[in-house]
Amino acid sequence: MRTLGVPGRSVVVLLAGALGVLSPLTALAQDTSTVNQPWAPPPASTSHVDDGGGQQHEIQYQKSTACVQRDLDNNIVLQEKPWGQQYMQIEQAQKLAVAARGSAGGGMKVAVIDTGVTNHPYLKFGVVGGGDYVDASKNGLEDCDGHGTEVAGIIAADTPPDIGFKGVAPDAQIVSIRQSSQNYSVPNQTSNPGGGGGQSGGANGGGSREQGQGAGNTHTLAEAVVRAANLNVNVINMSVDNCRPADGSINSGERELQAAIHYAVTVKNVVVVAAAGNTSDTCKQNDQPDPEKPQSIVSPPWFSDDVLSVAAIDETGGVASFSMNGPWVSVGAPGTNITSLDPSPGTDALANQVVEDNKQQAIQGTSFAAPYVAGVAALVRAQFPNLDPHQVMHRIEATAQHPGAPGGHDNYIGYGVINPVAALTAIVPSEEGIAPAKAEQLPSGLPPAAHKNWTPMVVALAGTGGGLLVLLVTLFVVHTIRRNRPA
């Protein structure tokens, strides 16, 4: 993927080992609660989850893999706008936002709960450190993995006019909370820089890995959500997932995360966006015969009452092969051939490749679809400040390009690919006090056969028969007269 640029701005290859494969969000001890419906979680707990003071207290991690760095030998000039940016008409949406409110997301704070965010010249208002559950001294402003910076760039990069790549809401403020990193580990444990075991994110994002292979778990993710909410952000983006086999239960870590999200949405007025997750060897695709009984549970997307869960599409407009299916999927957004900010410190470059298994490949994953939606949520919140989080979620879902499925929703793309222009301009009936349209059952069979009116046929046949009878009588009389006439 190439992007419009000027000489000297080059493709940056990230050498972190596995960009976008996030920390382990490990399932904690199982409890005895069971899910009452085939897939839906139980109601959110009202128990309090604190924010841990914005730092990890239980485990002391240490850096085990060097942070991402630029490939200084690579000097390919970026020449084209990212396809996803064009597909969603991001710049048109920004023009509408500026015309209506004077800015594109101005006044909005978006929390990126991820691997940290490196301050970059193209983040207009810099990055606010919101906390760090990996290394408290960094306060979320170190991104060794390279993942969080790219997520933040998709949300809010404010690039010069001669660069094609643009963030969705360039006037928004990024608040970074580092919750996970695969470049850190518990002392005396070996990290796995190449990714693998237990990730739901595949090779490039949206994933989690098993405990012992990095920093972070569902407990610290729950604390990070509460931390962001207490910092009064408007939108939270989580491009991290925990994937496990579905067994009808909910574990204690998931309960904490669900309660934290519910608190953020219902108490602190925050829109929560999360990646739907990627398939992997340990996160099986939900392609079972009954779609309402998934074989894999992915959280935070599982908590769909309070979360906008984002699937990834590719350049064809179809669902990306790696994107996790599930009845909790809300909407879709571009998630392949991603271009964003280079996370290396001290550079103004962009990045569009990652090194995996010593091979360069395009950046992809539901991790990078989610920030498109988070950026649109920031634009919507700025444009419609009186909408609560659930109304913002509904507006984004209602204006999406619905799939041809009952109710306009399926397990692959949810309510469809987001439409930023429509999200900023459409009239949503529920916001105007108008009852939603009701589906009507159309007859499936042919209409009843029309009964033929035989009267004209009877009259015609009767007239014809009468005429023939008169003709026959006339012929008979003429014949009789001729036969009896004298020779």
Supply the residues annotated as catalytic: 114, 147, 367
Question: Which residue from 62, 13, 4, 3 is spatially nearest to 353, judged by alpha carbons?
Answer: 13
Question: Which residue from 193, 224, 225 is spatially nearest to 209, judged by alpha carbons?
Answer: 193
Pull the structure tokens for residue 472: 């026959």
Pull the structure tokens for residue 200: 């739901």
Which amino acid makes up residue 478? V
Kind and range of the H or E run holding 355:
strand 350-356
DSSP 75-108: -PBP-S--HHHHHTTHHHHHHHHHHHHSSSSTT-
Q: What is d(CA 81, CA 73) in angstroms, rounded to the nearest whole number?
A: 23
Quickly list H helices, 274-364. Answer: none
Quickly list H helices, 102-186. Answer: 147-156
Which amino acid makes up residue 258? Q
DSSP 41-57: PPPPP------GGGB--
Total length of the chain: 487
DSSP 428-471: PGGGGTPPPPPP-PPP-SPPPPPPP--HHHHHHHHHHHHHHHHH
Neighbours of 46 (CB within 10 A): 9
Measured CA to CA in angstroms, residue 42 lies from 93, 109, 359 at distances of 37, 30, 43
CA torsion angle 174 236 170 84 (round to 10):
130
**SS3 state at 14:** strand
Kind and range of the H or E run holding 254:
helix 252-266
Q: What is d(CA 120, CA 347) in angstroms, rounded to the nearest whole number?
A: 7
CA-based torsion, 239, 245, 249, 252: positive or negative: negative
Terminal alpha carbon distance of the chain: 114
In 214-307, where do the E strands start and end?
235-238, 242-245, 249-251, 271-275, 296-299
Is the bond preceding 443 in cis, omega lying within 30 degrees of 0?
Answer: no
